[in-house]
Homo-oligomer: A and B are copies of this chain.
Amino acid sequence: MTRALTRKGEATRARIVAGAAAEIRERGVDEVRLEDVMAHTGTSKGQLFHYFPGGKEDLLLAVAQHEADQVLTDQEPMLSNLTSWPAWLAWRDRLVERYLAQGVKCPLNGLLGQTGRRAPGAQAIVTGLMWRWQAAITEGIRHMQSTGDIGPDVDPERASAALLAGIQGGVLLLLSTGKIDHLEAALDLTIDSLRASALVTREQEGRDNE
């Protein structure tokens, strides 16, 4: 049922999504007019509604999915290999670098809370993104626990929840203040505290051996 797209159609559809995404990053979700997308991608209104029968909302959904996936791929291969402290730091640096470059243009920014309530699908996409993101971090913490680099008292779910919150808040503060400091502080302090969890354990072990 799904397919009736020729190769050309596929390409056009992809061009529209990419162009719309760029436009949204530039201007913001609710500033983008279908007309802008048409101009930016060299397409006509007929095409837009051909490929996205649900109109704007439909297109927005596709863009959101596209961008959500992008967020995670941008963190690879670091995010999936949080297996040593240098790897964690590399991941941290990638995040900072990425968001510094992105600056104030957050494509998914508009999809939260009420803004996203009108499009339940968009909400779901963001939720899914957060879920996958946190799962990857949890995985990393578990691995570090297995090697003794993170103390066994740390609750991986809770710790990853806190770390993800720090990241999201850091980005949000970057958006509103233009400063990267909050993101850096949140990452560094949270990661440091994970490292400390192992040290404390080791100290205790050391003491036990005395």
Could you tell me which A residues sit within 8 Å of B by CB distance? 27-31, 104-106, 109-110, 112-118, 123, 126-127, 130-131, 158-159, 161-162, 164-173, 175-177, 181-183, 185-186, 188-190, 193, 196, 200
Q: In the complex the two chains form, is B164's CB within 8 Å of A169's CB?
A: yes
Number of copies: 2
Q: Which of B105, B168, B169, B170 contacts A114 (CB 8 A)?
A: B105
CA distance A27 to B185 in the complex (A): 34
Give the CA-CA distance A176 to B112 in the complex, in Å: 6
Query: Which of B130, B182, B193 is within 8 Å of A173, CB to CB?
Result: B130
**Which 9 A-B pairs give the minimum distances between C-beta atoms?**
A28-B114, A169-B169, A168-B169, A165-B169, A165-B186, A161-B185, A162-B185, A109-B113, A193-B193
**Contact across chains for A176 and B110 when beta carbons are under 8 A apart:** no
Task: Pick 13 A–B contacts, CB within 8 A, sort by A.
Answer: A30-B115, A31-B114, A104-B117, A106-B114, A109-B112, A158-B189, A162-B166, A165-B165, A165-B169, A165-B173, A168-B168, A189-B190, A196-B200
B176–A164 CB distance below 8 A:
no
Taking a contact as CB atoms under 8 Å apart, the answer to whether B175 and A28 are in contact is no
B115 touches A29 (CB 8 A): yes
Q: Is the CB of B164 within 8 A of A165?
A: no
Q: Give min CB distance, A101 to chain B, whole Å.
A: 15
How far is A116 from B116 in the complex, measured between Cα atoms in Å?
16
> What residues of chain B lie closer than 8 Å to A186, measured between beta carbons?
161-162, 165-166, 169
Report yes or no: A185 in contact with B169, Cβ–Cβ below 8 A. Answer: no
- With A27-B114, A105-B114 as known contacts, state yes or no: A172 contacts B168, CB within 8 Å: yes
Q: Are B118 and A172 in contact (CB under 8 A)?
A: no
Q: Are A31 and B106 in contact (CB under 8 A)?
A: no
Q: Complex Cα distance A31/B118, Å?
A: 9
Residues in B with CB closer than 8 Å to A177 are: 127, 130-131
Q: Are B28 and A115 in contact (CB under 8 A)?
A: yes
Tell me if B168 and A173 are in contact (CB < 8 A): yes
The distance from the CB of A191 to the nearest CB of chain B, in whole angstroms, is 11
